[in-house]
């Protein structure tokens, strides 16, 4: 039975069973080689049962044979034990050497245990030595220490602890939860009264839960298989994102007033403003947004025919068109910042008809725009020519006015010159008359008869009578 202690030992176990005799030998000649063979078998069996005495390669081979324990975990355990537990240890027949930096548990025959730290050499007489495993938590990690009394302790790194099998049931290392800015987690714990309490931890933070605490796991609508369709439970996480976020949402099978089936495409921008309110009011806000937005779109599209809807799609960008979505978001502690309408999709036949209609309208629109551009160009050319003629006439009038002004100015200058000449002549005449008057006055004062003087050389009238021998008769009436 001692050779069947390991369930799956492969060819090595089979070889052991084949070499074990079923009955003891009867002669000394047969007993000696059998003892040697039994010793060899026992030694090989001891190697299988106690792999710690193997070197690293033999221990790895042995671990690979233990399929029920898992190949990867067994190899990792062997390597960790080799690197951390008993490096530098030396076991001799009567003594045991504990290297520096290692600890062992020494158990006596009475069952008393004592932890001894190296460097030290101890006697193995009546004692059992067990190497202790060291657990190390670096910054950003923590140790979960589960004790045999049922209590639990969390040690935040940097920290180390030696696993004492008398006290510790299990020690494992975990990474602390890193919370960036605008991130939060919901932590549940049981208080001293036995009731559950909830608290919110916001980042930036390196979060390590206390014993007995656990994180809330959110299960919201999300895409599962990459099809783009959001399904319940498709998004599972523990970190809440407190920054503004957005999502795409397509509302399928929406009928217009004339029974045209469409798929309306939206983009919703939202922001979590009250975490406590969200936790109290909903378990899946994304699902609530999807249902509320779908209801608003169905209600809006049903008011119009397909042609009317195409002329009123701009209103789908207004928050006033989504009353149920905004109200539900406020109830859940969210704020809807904006909704963007991304277009619609229809059946293939209707899409082809719509595409042809769009092409026709686009062609007509381009032709109209081309004609309008030509007309605008002709109008612009005519307007420019008219403006140039007006400008030319204006310049001519300004030129004529300038010439008239110049002529008027020259005429005024000539008049002024004539006036100056006339005034000069009048002055000269007056001066001559004054001199003559002065001369005559002097003559008069001298006693000269002025009439005789003035008329002596110039008669008043000269009457000349000519005839041929007859004496004319002259009558002068004064």
The structural domains of the chain, with segments of one domain joined by +, span 218-342, 347-418
Q: How far apart are CA 229 and CA 209, in angstroms?
A: 35
pLDDT at 156 over 70: yes
CATH topology of domain 218-342: Tetrahydropterin Synthase; Chain A (3.30.479)
User: Encoding tokens for residue 58?
Assistant: 């033999």
pLDDT at 84 over 70: no
Q: How large is the C-alpha radius of gyration of the chain?
A: 63
Cα 196 to Cα 189, 213, 240, 410: the distances in Å are: 6, 10, 21, 113
Q: How confident is the model at residue 147 (pLDDT cuts 50, 70, 90)?
A: very high
pLDDT at 365 over 80: yes
In degrees, rounded to 5, the angle at the alpha carbon of residue 118 between the alpha carbons of residues 114 and 119 is 140
Q: CA 100, 101, 106, 112: dihedral to nearest 10 degrees?
A: 130
Q: How far apart are CA 120 and CA 183, in angstroms?
A: 51
Place of tokens 């609508």: 221
Q: How far apart are CA 58 and CA 64, in angstroms?
A: 10
- The arithmetic mean of pLDDT across residues 151-160, rounded, is 93
Q: How far apart are CA 45 and CA 30, in angstroms?
A: 22
Q: How far apart are CA 174 and CA 171, in angstroms?
A: 10
Residue 140: which residues within 8 A CB-CB, separation 6 or more?
A: 157, 175, 176, 178, 206
Handedness of CA 163, 165, 168, 169 (dihedral sign): positive
Handedness of CA 240, 241, 245, 250 (dihedral sign): negative
DSSP 83: I
* 73-87, 202-216, 227-241, 431-445, range with the lowest pLDDT: 73-87
Cα 80 to Cα 36, 56, 74, 113, 341: the distances in Å are: 36, 11, 10, 24, 58
Q: How far apart are CA 287 and CA 230, in angstroms?
A: 9
Q: How far apart are CA 53 and CA 30, in angstroms?
A: 31
**5 contacts 42 by C-beta, under 8 angstroms:** no
Q: How far apart are CA 382 and CA 433, in angstroms?
A: 75
Q: How confident is the model at residue 467 (pLDDT cuts 50, 70, 90)?
A: low
- pLDDT tens-digit map of 300-354: 999 999 889 989 999 999 999 999 999 999 999 999 999 999 998 887 777 777 7
Q: Where are the beta strands (DSSP E) in 238-273?
A: 240-241, 245-255, 261-272
Please provide the size of the chain in residues: 478
**pLDDT, position 284:** 94
**pLDDT, position 51:** 40
Q: Residue 125's closest CA among 92, 98, 102?
A: 92
* 11-20, 273-282, 439-448, range with the lowest pLDDT: 11-20
Quick one: how many helices (H) and strands (E) in the chain?
A: 10, 22
Confidence (pTM): 0.54
- The arithmetic mean of pLDDT across residues 257-279, rounded, is 92
Report the 10 Å Cβ neighbour count for 316: 22
DSSP 24: -
pLDDT at 40 over 70: no
Cα 115 off chain centre by: 57
Handedness of CA 199, 186, 149, 80 (dihedral sign): negative
DSSP secondary structure string for all residues of 325-388: HHHHHHHTTEEEEEEEEEEEE--HHHHHHHHHHHHHHHHHHHHHHHHHHHHHHHHHHHHHHHHH
Residue 43: in which H helix or E strand, if any?
helix 28-49
**pLDDT, position 455:** 73
- pLDDT tens-digit map of 14-25: 333 334 334 333
**289 contacts 220 by C-beta, under 8 angstroms:** no
Q: How far apart are CA 233 and CA 218, in angstroms?
A: 9
Q: Residue 48's closest CA among 65, 69, 73, 71?
A: 65
Report the 10 Å Cβ neighbour count for 30: 12
Q: How far apart are CA 451 and CA 458, in angstroms?
A: 11
In degrees, rounded to 5, the angle at the alpha carbon of residue 117 between the alpha carbons of residues 116 and 118 is 125
Q: How far apart are CA 464 and CA 432, in angstroms?
A: 33
Residue 328: which residues within 8 A CB-CB, separation 6 or more?
A: 288, 289, 292
Q: How far apart are CA 142 and CA 2, in angstroms?
A: 42
Angle between helices 285-301 and 323-331 (to 10 degrees): 160
- pLDDT tens-digit map of 162-203: 999 999 999 999 999 999 999 999 999 988 787 889 999 999
């Amino acid at each position: 039975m001692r050779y069947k202690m390991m369930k799956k030992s492969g060819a090595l176990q089979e070889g052991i069973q084949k070499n074990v005799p079923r009955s003891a030998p009867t002669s000394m000649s047969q007993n000696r080689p059998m003892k040697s063979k039994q010793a060899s078998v026992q030694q090989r069996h001891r190697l299988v049962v106690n792999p710690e005495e193997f070197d690293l390669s033999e221990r790895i081979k042995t671990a690979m044979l233990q399929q029920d324990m898992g190949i990867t975990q067994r190899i990792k355990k062997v390597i960790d034990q080799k690197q951390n537990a008993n490096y530098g240890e030396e076991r001799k027949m009567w003594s045991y050497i504990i290297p520096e930096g290692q600890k062992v548990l020494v158990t006596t025959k009475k069952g008393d245990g004592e932890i001894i730290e190296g460097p030290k050499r101890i006697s193995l007489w009546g004692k059992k030595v067990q190497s202790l495993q060291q657990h190390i938590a670096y910054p950003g990690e923590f140790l979960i220490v589960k004790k045999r009394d049922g209590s639990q302790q969390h040690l935040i790194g940097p920290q180390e602890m030696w696993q004492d099998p008398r006290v510790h049931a299990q020690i494992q290392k975990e990474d602390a939860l890193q919370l960036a800015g605008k991130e939060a987690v919901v932590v549940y714990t049981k208080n001293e009264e036995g009731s559950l309490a909830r608290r919110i931890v916001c980042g930036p933070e390196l979060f390590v839960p206390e014993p007995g605490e656990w994180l809330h796991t959110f299960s919201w609508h999300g895409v599962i298989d990459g099809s783009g369709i959001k399904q319940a439970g498709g998004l599972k996480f523990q970190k809440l994102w407190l920054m503004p976020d957005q999502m795409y949402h397509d509302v399928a099978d929406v009928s217009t007033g004339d029974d045209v089936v469409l798929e309306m495409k939206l983009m919703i921008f939202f922001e979590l403003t009250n975490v406590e309110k969200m936790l109290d009011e909903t378990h899946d806000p994304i699902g609530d947004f999807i249902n509320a937005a779908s209801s608003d779109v169905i209600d809006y599209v049903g008011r119009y025919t397909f042609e009317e809807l195409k002329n009123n799609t701009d209103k789908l960008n207004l928050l006033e068109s989504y009353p149920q979505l905004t109200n539900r978001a406020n109830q859940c502690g969210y704020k809807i910042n904006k909704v963007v309408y991304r277009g619609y999709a229809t059946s293939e036949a209707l899409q082809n008809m719509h595409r042809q209609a769009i092409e026709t309208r686009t062609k007509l629109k381009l032709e109209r725009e081309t004609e309008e551009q030509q007309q605008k160009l002709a109008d612009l050319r005519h307007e420019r020519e008219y403006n140039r003629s007006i400008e030319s006439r204006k310049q001519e009038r300004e030129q004529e006015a300038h010439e008239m002004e110049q002529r008027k100015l020259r005429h005024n200058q000539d008049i002024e010159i004539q006036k100056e000449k006339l005034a000069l002549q009048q002055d000269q005449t007056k001066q001559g008359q004054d001199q003559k008057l002065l001369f005559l006055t002097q003559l008069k004062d001298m006693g000269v008869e002025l009439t005789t003087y003035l008329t002596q050389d110039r008669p008043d009238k000269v009457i000349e009578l000519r005839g041929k021998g007859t004496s004319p008769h002259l009558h002068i009436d004064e």
